[in-house]
Structure 1
Amino acid sequence: MVCDDIFFEINLKVKDVHGRSVNDDRLSKGLIEVDAIRRLEFSPEYVVETETLVSMHSILDLNYTFIRRSVEGTVDIKILEGPDEFHGKIVASTTSIPCDIVLHDSKVSGALTAGDNGVLQTARRVVGVSVDEMLVLTVAAAVGDDELCACTVQFTPRRNGYNDESITCGDYKMLLKVTWSIVYF
């Protein structure tokens, strides 16, 4: 439960395509304060809000929403069959919040290589979801130079345990697994 202000410390750095820091690596640094007390009595509809941090080298928008009765979903993606490198995009969303959370985009961060056990190490894998919503995972796998094959799976949030689903998307057969844990109830 939120009972005070929330502070987001931003330290955005630039890296090259191989993950190495470049000389002028600091793009943005600052602090964003969100008045959470004012938002304790909010409407039943989820609203995505934006706070902006302006610095000398950039303008950064922080999008957020307050989630009621939330649980944490940890997303694991395992390649069961197909190429070891994943080319495409993986996004998470919910049934009522109109924002995609990008878990991976190979156009931005390059292809993902599966480890020895076939598990993809995405840049982000934890999402917050209300138990009154559905978690929607969309995998869009590259099947050609400009074509994508998309598969969407919905998961019902739980207070604990996990859900998994096998999908075939393009040249890949994958296992999507979401492990649930309670945040606050």
Structure 2
Amino acid sequence: MKVYPVEGPLPAFYHYYPGVPAVVGVRLGGRVNFCPAVWNTGLSADPPLFGVSLSPKRFTHGLLLEARRFSASFHPYTQAALVQWLGSVSGREVDKGQAPHFLGQTGVPILEGAYAAYELALLEVCSFGDHDLFVGRVVAVWEEEALLDERGRPRPGLSLLYYGKGLYGHPAEEAFTP
């Protein structure tokens, strides 16, 4: 195993991957945009809080600051090509609202095909280095029950995993408790 000192950005910052991307959906006026965010996390169960980390360079960042509400949807590996496309083009140049979606109860766009999605009201934005953490309160949950187990977890082998730099996969279909 090698070691090297860190002075500036890491040459590869993927050691903690794979991650499950959350597709962030935001609508401002008539403009709909989607952006995959692999840096996402649950923050609290009571109250239910969820966070996504976005670079200020991203078109979605500015829309979300203004709209103050957003969705986070989770997709099966069969939608890898769509998720990759959404993360490969900018909403400044491409109308990502053409992707199949519906509007949730609060009017946020939710990408179709998800096994679960959250509607979130923006509570706080915190800057950390080159990204901002958007913390949202979950105000509605969408679930595709046939794709979830009895505890509301995605069925084994279903989730889209992101390994970084355009590499996707999915977990083994066998799951176990040690």
- The bucket for the TM-score relative to the shorter chain is under 0.3
Greater RCO between the two (CA within 8 Å, min separation 6)? Answer: 2
TM-score by length of 1: 0.26
**Bigger share in helix:** 2
TM-score by length of 2: 0.27
**Bigger share in strand:** 1
